[in-house]
Structure 1
């Protein structure tokens, strides 16, 4: 039996306090005098029962601004008036450390005396979990992208404000609902849920899904969601999933327009141009027509073909990268240099380029265009350096550089200071970077030439 402390008039209360894990105190309802304290107080507060009985409430409370003697007395008065009260209280041990308690006070009669019985339970672990959960919920609520969770029954059980804004539905309408409430394609919804469940037995940590939802006002939006599993249930079964979505409606429409544009380039323009080039060949080889006019026409048709190729590349390379892969950047740099470099030019590659994630062929095209740009403006004997940046890489040369007042224009459609170029090379660079959600800016290299910095790469 633990040690208990009680006043002479409260010794009959000792039987009530025997072998109780929670701290129990008994006070006179009128005077507030402490009549008895259970021995569990020493383990919880660090005071002996006798010491604790003589302390003021303030001595074992965390203090301002909320946990003061004044506030404690208000709560005691509430129990005295109403018969009972319950509240959480931040307490303080004898060594000064703080912890959370849950206190239940009730008024009762013992041997003709009106007393207040307080039951104090240490709820620090639960409270810290609740506070951590509140912090996470607050953080998630501030995220601009829609965030939501499914429970083990594939029902929506959490949505943040961004999800409400995207769908147009209220929280009450969404929580507890099945995802098919929003989906346009029910078969696709089943496929998506199957893909999410398959994560439990697969090697991937997440899955990217794309689908169309119907908003509350009837309009449709295309969204991309990255889904990951929540911890499994106690018996190891599916425990739900968390998703982060993004409205990609505008992006999809842009890609559709680019596809139509590419189709026009590939067929409606290239076919008649190819026919014209064939006629020129016949004119020269069959008819024997060899004049400066035919030469000029041939140069013009070749240039038109080059422009069409560049614009077609621009249309395709600008499409968003949906399935990035990890690859060695030095390897892609080497491949691009073998395609674009000249025997007289020099390539210097940083040993720390490392691995990046993206669309490998398109990153190769980006590098080729930057190398071609350096050679075109700095000459065949240019020195090009590719070096690592904290969140990306840079391609720099020792050429004449780009004047500061022109640096914002070099990525525009058709911009070129070289009569031999089509003006699409650097624009394609910008489109490929944008498709990866990267940033590209141009500045000055240490040698005074141009330096293109590509940043925003994931680590």
Structure 2
């Protein structure tokens, strides 16, 4: 609400009708948000005020019957804060003093000149603005108090560890008769002496803005000594210009009573396949308090490990420094999950290690933690073996490529010489066989690298790359149609080229000489279709399997390579009917450049 956005009703009261009208006219000229009402005596003005909303009163002092001061006093009995300006021709220090004592907003003597009414208009505007701001603040305060009073949780504010605010739920929870009985008392009075200092330190940390406190479990002592399990969330707040803490205190008695019995947790702990230990921090050292049987069998089958330093029990030599750093992170409330090597009774083994910090029930500070060791040694060994196999396979593929391509190139050269020297239909068949052998070698090498990750992903214009691939694949009768809607996608360009060439070659090999191939866009990818004979529905589930081909000229590896390239990109590929009855390969889940 502000004067610049909402009209303001000004009640002008003067026993001289002409002067009251003149004042009203000047005010409406000063600000088009002003609307005015003129009355010539205080009695009529009070009646209008009783029945209508008024934002400000401008009144003369010297009026017959009820004068301006008496009128002001009558207004103040019903509205102590309504702006009231005394605008009088009879000015004196005595009248001004009485007006101020009666609660007048402003005082201005009448006189000639336009400037006087400009000054009056500005003072009216300022008074209305200040009044509306006060009303807004009061409304916000009332709403806030309504929310706080209706809260199902206790809400308290403390400054310097002393309560300065408590909502009704807090009064009930702390067991005090009223809010005044809680204000001024220290938070520590309601905390057990054994952990009072720790709670005070945490509150100081929150009050300074250093760190909030989330869902801290504690036990509250009421004024009558009753113990109540609670959960506290605390945040820094500024209270009357001073740093403080606002805390939501939730009674969790029902939750505590319905907690799963501890013997079930113990059964899970004891029979877990992963090695687990409960560790307590003592002067910065992780001291083992309890372990399960899996931990004992890995790290100390013949020794009582409880009471020992965890780092010394599971790490030695060069791994000790790393273990101590992990402990530091755990104690500082930093959730840690990592792959680590630790020393077991069978020698070093690899683990997926994680720790779960446990806050103390009463202080909320990290005093202990669960550590969990998941043995991943065999998985990592399999990974290393797979890497070695892939390396050997890559080496083998390179050797095969070299040793097969060389004699193939020699045969191709000899064939060209023989073709120049004589004519024979057998030579044509030889050329077909050599080309098929070359294609077979290329496809086998591609499959040998199956699972190889894609290279650099870059924006690729599908239409331009498609046309480039077509030039090296199709015969002169076949036709490529690239839809103008073909998208630009993010891909490994060289492997996308191989994908397109294989799909184009598949269409040409399985269609007639005048086959038409179309490339166009999908909402989340693209498709390639032809108007050839298509792929029977019963064969579509197996069409991407290596060695599967319905053409005498095909190797059966082309579509398997297509599937491998799509999966390496994280795409999906399906085959369905084309628009004109042929095959349609839809490639989806494709990323587009931003």
Which of the pair has more CA radius of gyration? 2
TM normalised by structure 2 equals 0.39
